[in-house]
Structures are given as C-alpha cells and as structure tokens.
Amino acid sequence: MPPEHHVGEEIMSAIKSGDVKMRPRWYFMLRGALAILAITIVILAAVFFISFVVFFLRKTGEWFVPMFGLQGWYAIFTGLPWVLVCLSGIFVVMLAILAQRYPFGYQWPLFYSVLGAFFLVGSMSFLFIRTSFYRTFFDSSIPREIPLLSEYYPDGGLLVPANIRRGQVIAVLPDGFVIQGQLLGDTSTILVASDTVFPDNTVIHPGDVVVIFAKSSSGTIVEAGGIEKITP
Amino acid sequence: MTPEKTDEEIAVQVQAGDAESFRFLIERYEPKMARYAKRFLFGGDDVKDLLQEVFIKVYVNIKSFDANRRFSPWIYRVAHNEFVNALKKRNKERGNISLFYVDVLFPHPIAKETAEEAVTQREIRETLEKSLGQLDPKYRDPLVLYYLEDMDYKAIADILRIPVSTVGVRLQRGKALLKTFLAEKQ
C-alpha cells in the first residue's frame, strides 16, 4: 500500500495524546436502553389503539355484524374508526422499522418484519382484551379526556352506525321485542319479519343482550334484517 | 502480543483499556479498508482521510462491538457507512438507502453458486475491477464484498443491513450486468 495511506501512527498518536477517546460502555447501554424504550412505547401505543378499536366495535355492535354476511362486512368496513386504524398501522410499521437496527429485524425482508410486528401487537392486544382492566379502563372517564378518543364516546358525539343497534332486551312482544341501548340508554322496538336472519336460531328472552342489523328503521321502530344474541 | 490472536481477541483487549493493541487491528485492516475505499471510487488524499475517520470511529465505538460476533463485518460496516456519507457529501450519488429498495421489502429465493462457475468467477472479478464506476451502488457493494473482499452472504447482509435473500438477488443481478459489460467489450 502506498506510504501516503499509512494512518496507523497518526491515529495511535491521537489516542495516546487523548485527542481520541473510547466512548464508555454505559453510553452504548444507555443508547440501547433508549432504543428499547422507544420500541416499548411504540408497542404499547399500537396495542392501546388496536384494543380501543375492538372496544369501540364491540360497544357499537359492529363487531358482531360480519356474521350477517357481505352486508355485515360492508357495515363493519364503513363503520371502522379509520383514523385509529391507520394510527395503529403506522405504529406497527414504525415497530418493524425500529426492529431493522437489530439483526433479527434486518435479516428478514421488511414485509416479514411488518407481518411479525402485526402478529406481536395483535397477540398482545388479544391478551390485553382478555383482562378485566381493559373494559374497566375504556369505560372509565380517563380515555374520554384523550383528544383523539373522546369523539368515540357517546357524550363526545359517538359515531353510532345507523343500521346497527346493540341493547338489552327489556320486553318481548308478539312480533318482536324492545331493547334498551347500552350506549345511550334509548329504547328501540325491534320488529322480526319472516326473512329476519337468526344465525344461531336462538330464542330471545328479557335480559338477553342482542345486536340488531337493521333492514330499515323509522325513529325508534327497527325492522330487523338480522339478530344475534351476544355475550357482553 | 502475539500476532496469532484473532481480531475478536484483540478487540476485547482494546475494550479492556489496552489501547496499544489497537495498532494490530489497524495493521491488519488498513490495506483492506484502503482497497475497499478505492472500490468506492475514492483516491489519493481522500483515501487517507477516510481511513483515519474509519479507524477513529472504530476506536471511539469499540465498546459497542460484541466479541461474540465477528469483527470483520463490524469494521466493514463502519467503513461502509463512512464511505457512503463521504459520497453523499461529495454529491456523486445519493447513497444506498436500502429501506426504499423494493428488493429489501419482499422475500426472494436464494440461488446457490455451483462449482461450474469457478471460471466465471475469475472473469467476474476482472470485469468488476474495470466496471466499478458503471455499476449502481446497490449492486456494486455486494459484488465488491463478495468477489473482491471474499465475504460470505451473512457477512455482507450484516455489513449492508439487508436480508440475506436480498444479497443473493443483488449478486445475481449484478453478475448479469457484469456479463453484459463483458459481452459488450468482446
């Protein structure tokens, strides 16, 4: 190698004189800890928003309508809180990108990393939803104060889908039953027709919690397209 | 200090405070880093300045090196980043932002090298040396690391921070480009 490229002596002189110093190990540990903290925050944010989306869909009854076929899927698709869904997606992608700084991240194509991040966040959300804390927290006043979430609560102008009712049966009638909505406490009279779909063919009793997929509605009278008894 | 110590053992000694041992790492890697810098199309004083930057960065950050991993890909990674940053500053090209290449987003099957390709490999090396300036960095970097620096797929993946499958794809495509250059010259 040409002598002009020899840099060893200059570098060793700089090291011996103290001009160049090793960064201490705690610097890298702190950097690593900050990276882990950032990843943890992103995971928690993704789990939080995904869990809230599930909470919202269950509260409005949209969660249960896919069982009514394509119309149900269309209803859930159009009723999704898309801002929160997109936000959750952004956090998941951020997680996959943050993972790229580690060998377990960059050794796989980003597509697999994003899938892995979805699976991780989805699993954690699933576990969180199983806890009693999940419903207690989202039913409390705390999330109602969070700017992005407050609009999804009844007193914040909840985006209740017009063709879905969720409520508790308070009276059974010859041609249907009366329900009291669990979101706003309003009552609706549900009319059962010959073509009303009962996915499980169950009998409705007072006290049952049901989701109604409305064929048409006029004020508090709802003609049921589909009825499903659910476990709240 | 006996010269038979591995790079990793020397790095551990440097981490423990034996700064003098760093000299051995410089002696071992200075020729390789100079050769690698030239393959990024640097020359003259640029190479010397870059080598100084690389080794200073290596020393300053030596405590981040995990001695359970190989030292060579780690120092090549530091050098690669330094050379890419220097190229960006020089405005010769935009540098390799792998994240935005489609071939790092989706999986690809890896093609295996065969023994029949031994002769072809010599031709590829010769053509590569002459064609460095014509190649897109995305193909040049893995080709240089594989054919001229004798790195394996895993080491190249660690240096460039891309999936192993992407290394294979880029080598295949880079080789195809080199064969085109060779055919044009013939």
- Whichever domain contains A197, its CATH number is 2.40.50.320
- The tens digit of pLDDT for each residue in A11-25 reads 999 999 999 999 999
Same domain, A59 and A145: yes
User: What's the number of domains chain A is made of?
Assistant: 2
Question: What is the distance between the alpha carbons of residues B8 and B72, in angstroms, rounded to a whole number?
Answer: 9
Looking at domain B98-185, which CATH architecture does it have? Orthogonal Bundle (1.10)
Contact predicate A65/A110, CB 8 Å: no
In terms of domains, do A144 and A169 share one?
Answer: no
Interface test with A, best of B27, B30, B42 (most A CBs within 10 A): B30
Chain A residue numbers touching B47 (CB-CB < 8 A): 5
Q: Are residues A66 and A34 in the same domain?
A: yes
Same domain, A101 and A131: yes
Q: Are residues A33 and A145 in the same domain?
A: yes
User: Which residue, among B47, B65, B152, would best test binding to A if mutated, counting the most A CBs under 10 Å from its CB?
Assistant: B47
State mean pLDDT over A185-211.
85
Predicted local confidence at residue B115, as pLDDT: 43
Q: Is residue A81 part of a domain?
A: yes
- Whether residue A101 is found in the same domain as residue A137: yes
The reply to whether A12 falls in a domain is: no
Positive or negative: CA dihedral B38, B42, B48, B54: negative
- A104-127 as b/e: b if 16+ CB within 10 A: ebbbbbbebbbebbbebbeebbee
Considering the domain boundaries, does residue A7 fall inside one? no
Domains of chain B, residue spans: 7-90, 98-185
Shared-domain flag, residues A82 and A192: no
B61 contact residues in A (CB cutoff 8 A): 23, 28
Q: Provide the Cα torsion B154, B155, B158, B162; round to 10°.
A: -50
**Residue A156 scores a pLDDT above 80:** no
Tell me how close the Cα of A30 comes to any Cα of chain B, in angstroms: 11
Measured between alpha carbons, how far is residue A139 from residues A79, A142, A146, A192 in Å? 20, 8, 13, 31
CB contact under 8 A, A6 and B59: no
What pLDDT score was predicted for residue B72?
Answer: 95
For residue B57, what are its two tokens? 């960065």
pLDDT of residue B112: 53
In whole angstroms, what is the distance from residue B135 CA to residue B132 CA? 6
Of A101, A129, A156, the position where a domain reaches its end is: A156
A13 domain residue, yes or no: no
Confirm whether A99 is domain-assigned.
yes
**Residue B79's pLDDT is what?**
95
Q: Does residue A4 lie in a domain region?
A: no
Query: Chain A partners of B45 at a C-beta cutoff of 8 Å?
Result: 4
A93 and A192 in a common domain: no
Question: Going residue by residue through chain B (186 aa), what tens digit of pLDDT does each one get?
Answer: 555 899 999 999 999 999 999 999 999 999 999 999 888 776 777 889 999 999 999 999 999 999 999 999 999 999 999 998 888 887 655 554 444 566 666 666 655 554 446 557 777 888 888 888 888 888 999 999 999 899 999 999 999 999 998 999 999 999 888 888 878 877
Which of A112, A131, A156 lies at the terminal end of a domain, its last residue? A156
CA distance A165 to B103: 47
In a domain, A178, yes or no: yes
| Co-location of A131 and A182 in the same domain | no
pTM over 0.80: no
Per-residue model confidence (pLDDT) at position A42: 94
The per-residue pLDDT for range A120-135, each reduced to its tens digit, is: 999 999 999 888 888 8
pLDDT band at A154 (very low <50, low <70, confident <90, very high): low
CB contact under 8 A, A111 and B158: no
Cβ distance of A28 and B162 shorter than 8 Å = no
Domain B7-90 has CATH 1.10.10.10: no
Query: B149: which 2 tokens?
Result: 């620096």
ipTM for the complex shown: 0.78
pLDDT tens digits, one per residue of A78-113: 888 888 899 999 999 999 888 888 888 888 888 888
CB nearest A103 (choices: B64, B104, B158)? B158
- CB nearest to A20's CB, from B47, B60, B166: B60
Name the minimum distance, in Å, from the CA of B176 to any CA of chain A: 23
| A82-95 as b/e: b if 16+ CB within 10 A | eebeebbeebbbbb
Nearest chain A residue to B17 by CA distance is A22
Cβ neighbors of A92 (< 8 A, separation 6 or more) are: A46, A114, A117, A118, A121
Put simply, the answer to whether A111 touches B107 (Cβ < 8 Å) is yes
Measured between CA atoms, how close is B157 to chain A, in angstroms? 7
- pLDDT of the residue at B133: 81
Provide residues of A within 8 Å CB-CB of chain B.
1, 4-8, 10-12, 14-16, 20-25, 27-28, 97, 100, 103, 106-112
Examine the domain organization and report whether A136 and A202 are in the same domain. no
Among candidate residues B171, B164, B167, the one with its CA nearest the CA of residue B147:
B171
Q: Do A125 and A69 reside in the same domain of the chain?
A: yes
The pLDDT score that the predictor gives to residue B98 is 47
- Of the candidates B92, B88, B90, B163, which has an alpha carbon nearest to the alpha carbon of residue B133? B92
Q: What's residue A33's pLDDT?
A: 95
Same domain flag for A43 and A100: yes
Show which of A122, A156, A190 is a domain's final residue: A156
- Print the domain residue range for A121: 25-156
Is A19 among the domain residues?
A: no
